[in-house]
Structure 1
Amino acid sequence: MTPLNYNHLYYFFTVAREGSIAKASGSLHLTPQTISGQITKFEAQIGVNLFDRTGKTLQLSEMGHLIYSHAEEIFQLGDELSNVLKTQRPISWQTLSVGITDVIPKVLAHQLLKPALKMSESIRLVCHEGDQISLLASLAVNKLDLIITDQPLEPGGHVKAYTHQIAESGLTFFATKEKAAGYRKGFPQSLSSQPFLMQSKKSVVRQRLMMWLDKEGVTPTIVAEFDDSALMKSFGQEGYGVFSVPTIIEKYIASQYGVEIIGRAEECIDRYYIISPERKIKHPAVVEIVNSIPR
């Protein structure tokens, strides 16, 4: 078999990471034509298409995703080797690869993962975002050590994995300082017909929130929906509408975004889970994360 051309692999890896040949061109200091030509040669050498091409848009093919994950590990090891050669101090790193579903608030994921980086052992944390289906596929082929999600595994699924509940929380509602007092009076009925920023339909908490609002007889005006909770908070900070977050991070949100609490829905419970390939968690960093969660 012809030896793998690692220059070609790196060009492919950079394009996939940057999202386009144009951006990779700036990163690699090569012309787009050069990069495109080298990737075409690489595809011919390995006999597979790495990208699904629609016009000028590049999307990783199924095989492209697989090769990208291997390339990521290869170049991560290369960076580690470069560091060892530079410092002359070999370090034994243990990698913790975490999948985070895109509906999980980033600050919550940050709080959950912090204990792993405070361990005496040298832990390299690698985080991947995506939807639950794609992350489960990565877990199934041992590309992830765990997934942080708001949805437990469905019974009868094809992936052999286990769900561990790690936290639960009610919801806290926020608005700008200028509008908070008006919403606070008569909450939650004060939200009726008012602009509201809502989580996307694929978020479990949205379903519970809609049921709670219906039970309270409240019909806000949903002006925007978001997969990315950080983007939702940014719009809320600018006064485009009321938004809700898990109560367990309310202090951070009030401080970071300069918004005020207008009320809570303690019975609107959102639960968070770790999905792991093990019934009994063994990875030392995952054990540390679970043991650090307040009970």
Structure 2
Amino acid sequence: MSTPLNYRHLYYFWVVAKEGGMARAAERLDMAVQTVSAQVRALEQSLGYALFKPAGRGIALTDAGVAAMTQADQIFQIGEQLPAAVRDAATGQGLRLAVGMSDGLPKLVVKHLLQPVLHDPRVRLLCHEDEFDRLLADLALHKLDAVLSDRPAPPNPNLRLYGHALGEASMAWFAPADVARKCKLPFPACLGELPLLLPTHHAAVRARLDQWFERQGLRPRIAGEFEDSALLAAFGRSGMGAFPASRWSHEELLQDRRMRLLGDTPEVLEHFHLISAERRIHHPLVQQLLSSARGAPASPAK
């Protein structure tokens, strides 16, 4: 039988790695350097491998130390979430759902994707927007329950992430009424006349839009490119140009009487994915999101 892991030793190792040295770790822990060093050596002896190596005047992680740090990060990140989880369960404050949103994902689409759980009064929703790769790192460390994205989980055996398709929606083109009135040609030819606002190439749908322009024989006059979809729509609404948006944004955009629907591009699809850190989903709200997506049509009704 293997010797049980001493989590106190692991915690001291974790602090040393975080602080970058024994002395800084000892200061943070309010302990003697010799005591911290002894605790780390005890962990190395129990694991059978050196976790640190000399590096100049300091120390650095060995390959074994990097592997141990990856696991320790997960353990102590989860531990930091324990008080809030216990408090919420004990006080009946509800179900916490921490969702990461890829920065290229339209905000109105995010609202649509999360709608199946928003009606539950127990839900306490925490939304984090960031770059795709950073969100995946946070998901792997269990800082997030799920990530919503416009692309599937990349193949990476080290992260062990799993993708789940949530559906797809066709794109449509919108413009303020005064911009739309300048069109002398029918859709889609009018897009060759108007200034256009587009997502940058970090959004998966941009490549599909460029291919569609090429098939239509259009040379777009690009007035602006935006990483943030909400900012793109805001500049579009201000009159800067026509812009594409998911059909799931259709109703909300047209509630603004100044906006006009120029036309649909049903052949240009935006795909949506939920990425989890586990193959079998245990979080009840994440299960509900997936169940709702599987029970809904792939594309919204027009």
Q: Do they superpose with TM above 0.5?
A: yes
With the length of structure 2 as denominator, give the TM-score of the two structures.
0.67
Distance verdict in 2 for CA 1:256–1:140, change over 3 Å: farther
C-alpha deviations, 1:22-60, integer Å up to 9, x for none? xxxxxxxxxxxxxxxxxxx99x7479xxxxxxxxxxxxx
Equivalent residue, structure 1, for 2:64: none
1:192 match = 192
Report the RMSD for the aligned CA atoms in angstroms: 3.4
Given that residues 183 and 190 in structure 2 are in contact (C-alpha distance below 8 angstroms), is that contact kept between their aligned partners in structure 1? Answer: yes
Name the CA shift for 1:234/1:274 in 2 (closer, same or farther; >3 Å): same
Q: Deviations over 1:56-111 (max 9, x none)?
A: xxxxxxxxxx8xx96xx679949x96x99xxxx92253321111001111111112
Amino acid at match of 2:105: I
- Whichever residue aligns with residue 173 of structure 2, its letter is F
Match of 1:268 in 2: 268
Aligned counterpart, 1:174: 174
Question: What residue in structure 2 maps to residue 258 of structure 1?
Answer: 258
Describe the shift of the 1:280–1:74 C-alpha distance in structure 2 as closer, same or farther (beyond 3 A): closer
SS at match of 1:154: coil
Deviation at 1:157, TM superposition (A): 5.0
Asked if structure 1 preserves the Cα contact closer than 8 Å seen for 2:183 and 2:193, the reply is no
Write the letter of the residue equivalent to 1:96. L
Task: Give the equivalent residue in structure 2 for 1:103.
Answer: 104
Tell me, what secondary structure is at the counterpart of 1:280?
coil
Residue 240 of structure 1 is matched in structure 2 by 240
Correspondence for 1:115: 116
Cα deviation, 1:145-169, whole Å, max 9, x if unaligned, reads 1100001122345310111111101
Aligned to 1:207: 207
> Contact 2:96–2:124 at 8 Å: present in 1 too?
yes
Q: Does 1:159 align with 2:151?
A: no
Q: Distance in 1 between matches of 2:83 and 2:125?
A: 12
Give the 3 Å change call, closer, same or farther, for CA 176–255 of structure 1 in structure 2.
same
For residue 140 of structure 1, what is the amino acid of its counterpart? Answer: A
Displacement of 1:116: 1.9
1:292 maps onto 2:292 in alignment: yes
- Which has the larger displacement, 176-185 or 105-114? 176-185
Unmatched runs of 5 consecutive residues or more in structure 1: 2-40, 48-65
Alignment correspondent of 2:12:
none
Q: How do 1:10-21 residues align onto structure 2 when only pairs under 5 Å count?
A: none
Write the letter of the residue equivalent to 1:153.
A
Aligned residue type for 2:265: A
Q: Secondary structure at the match of 1:252?
A: helix
Gaps of 5+ in 2: 1-7, 9-23, 31-72, 298-302
- Alpha carbons of structure 1 residues 157 and 190: separation in structure 2 relative to 1, 3 Å: farther
Instruction: Measure, in 2, the Cα distance between the counterparts of 1:183 and 1:272.
Output: 32
Shift of 1:256: 4.4
1:6 — aligned with what? none
Aligned counterparts of 2:240 and 2:217: Cα–Cα separation in 1: 22
Shift of 1:274: 0.3
- TM-score, normalization by structure 1: 0.68
Report the AA paired with residue 108 of structure 1: V
SS in 2 for 1:183: coil
User: Aligned-pair distance for 1:140?
Assistant: 0.7
The count of residues paired between Structure 1 and Structure 2 equals: 231
Instruction: Give the Cα separation in 1 of the matches to 2:223 and 2:93.
Output: 50
Letter in 2 for 1:109: V
TM-superposed deviation, 1:224: 0.9
Amino acid in structure 2 at the alignment position of 1:203: A
Identity rate of aligned residues, in percent? 30
Note closer, same or farther for the CA distance 1:251–1:184 as it changes in structure 2 (3 Å cut): farther
TM superposition shift of 1:267? 0.3
CA distance in 1, matches of 2:273, 2:112: 14
Task: Pick closer, same or farther for the CA change 1:157–1:219 going to 2, 3 Å.
Answer: farther
Kindly name which structure, 1 or 2, has the bigger radius of gyration based on alpha carbons.
2
Letter matched to residue 160 of structure 2: K
Say if 2:100 and 2:144, in contact at 8 Å, map to a contact too.
yes
Q: Secondary structure in 1 aligned to 2:239?
A: coil
Cα offset, 1:278, TM superposition: 2.4
Contact 1:237 1:257 in 2 (8 A): no
